[in-house]
Amino acid sequence: MRALIQRVVKARVTVRGNSIGAIGSGLVVMLGIARDDNEDDARYLADKIVNLRIFPDQKSSFSQSAVEVKADLLLISQFTLFASTRKGKRPSFSAAESVDKAKPLYEKALGIFKSSGLKVETGRFQEEMLVEIQNNGPMTLMLDSHDRHEPRR
């Protein structure tokens, strides 16, 4: 499972001109699900994201977590995080999980994020969305749940 997270001042997602989710200061989480992902991957990423020290205080730019600052979260499904552009000119999405298996895992991940106690808004699974992001920093990080199995360098 991959997450592209951006620290934002505000963000909003619309579908067909209708606003369906909006947050103030917090994180936009673009979440991609791979074929071999499971609930452990969702738990790992959710815990990592809400506890990463990526919000500033008076002393440091990276000293507080989303939980500590009571950040808002905007969770957007994003299968394109598993695009492969290695061959040809068209991306391949063969590493992304199928819709019928990804949707229940996305919903499980959503529940895990909500259990953090933070305000969580969402996009709409498998819909064309317009996501407006006012990035703060800018601060953008890519996390992959499979990295937890890699040895430290």
Burial letters 18-28, b for 16+ CB under 10 A, else e: eeebebebbbb
* Catalytic residue (one of 6, 55, 79, 113): 79
Q: Provide the CB-side half-sphere exposure for 105 (13 A, CA).
A: 26
Measured distance CA(14)–CA(16) in Å, rounded: 7
126 is known as an active-site residue? no
* Catalytic residue (one of 80, 126, 134, 140): 80
Token readout for 30 is 């673009």
Q: Tell me whether the omega of the peptide bond preceding residue 104 falls within 30 degrees of 0, making it cis.
A: no
Dihedral (Cα; 49, 50, 55, 58), 10-degree rounding = -140
* Catalytic residue (one of 78, 82, 113, 122): 78
125 is known as an active-site residue? no
79 is known as an active-site residue? yes
Task: List, by residue number, the catalytic residues.
Answer: 78-80
